[in-house]
Amino acid sequence: MKAMENNQARDEYIIIVGCGRLGSHLARLLSKARKSVVVIDKNEYAFHRLSEDYSGFTIEADAIEIDTLLRAKIHKADVVVATTNDDNTNVMIAQVAKTIYHVPKVVARLFEPSRQLVYEELGIETLCPTILSAEALKNYIMGKETEELE
């Protein structure tokens, strides 16, 4: 049973677009978790962020180009995570992955919190670091306040 779970985990194929601060960290974590990972970045230097034990693939190309996504075998992907530093790019890639290639799990990084609701209404799963950071900070601050009051 354990071996089967490990095989299933290995078979999951994940495309990460953007190998910056977020994408490279996610790629390292997923590679460590023995997932099949490919990271795309238009800037070759970005791949220096990957650790030596990263066992996935890299593609140096602009992910806006459909050819790049085809090279990454998007039609075989179980997950696509768009983590570039541009909201429009991330949403466009997420839309292509979801509507054209029917990738089961698609997430777009979104810098602008006010756009999150709009995209979620369109069925695009988003991750907004600004909102997550604010919530984490609020919890930290409130937790401290609670401790001090006790």
User: Cβ closer to ligand AMP: 9 or 131?
Assistant: 131
C-alpha atoms less than 13 angstroms from C-alpha of 22 in its C-beta half-sphere: 19
User: Cβ closer to ligand AMP: 64 or 127?
Assistant: 64
Element (H, E) at 49: none
Q: What is the residue-wise DSSP string for 66-114?
A: HHHHHHTTGGG-SEEEE--S-HHHHHHHHHIIIIIS--SEEEEE-S-GG
Shortest separation between residue 149's beta carbon and ligand AMP, angstroms: 38
Task: Give the integer Cα–Cα distance in Å for 92 and 88.
Answer: 6
Shortest separation between residue 141's beta carbon and ligand AMP, angstroms: 26
User: Cβ closer to ligand AMP: 63 or 107?
Assistant: 63
Shortest separation between residue 23's beta carbon and ligand AMP, angstroms: 6
Residue ranges binding ligand AMP (CB under 6 A): 17-23, 40-43, 46, 62-64, 83-86, 89
Task: Give the integer Cα–Cα distance in Å for 88 and 84.
Answer: 9
Do the Cβ atoms of 106 and 77 come closer than 8 Å?
no
User: Cβ closer to ligand AMP: 5 or 67?
Assistant: 67
Shortest separation between residue 19's beta carbon and ligand AMP, angstroms: 5
Instruction: Name the residue whose CB lies closest to ligand AMP.
Output: 20
